[in-house]
Amino acid sequence: MPYTKNQSTKRFSFGITTNDTSHKAGANVVTIATNASDSSYYSTPTTQLSMTVKEARVLQSFLNDSMPARVAAELESDSSVG
């Protein structure tokens, strides 16, 4: 059964598409794209990174191990993230 979810912040758009019954390449993909903005110092042209769900799980594990809970909580309260 296909599953799709998307979420965005001011600077990034995140998406996941999975299909448990499909064995085709590209059926289970996570994307991270930048959102171009004229008014932001950090603005870049739109760029997109795609990875498999398996690769995204490795990235998730790396971030969870690398960022202490205190730092993650501070980042969540940062107004520039949302």
The per-residue b/e assignment along 15-41, b for 16 or more CB within 10 angstroms, e otherwise, is bebeeeeeeeeeebbbeebbeeeeeee
Predicted TM-score (pTM) of the model is 0.69
pLDDT of residue 75: 72
Cα separation, 75 vs 40, in Å, equals 19
- Percent of the chain residues topping a pLDDT of 70: 84
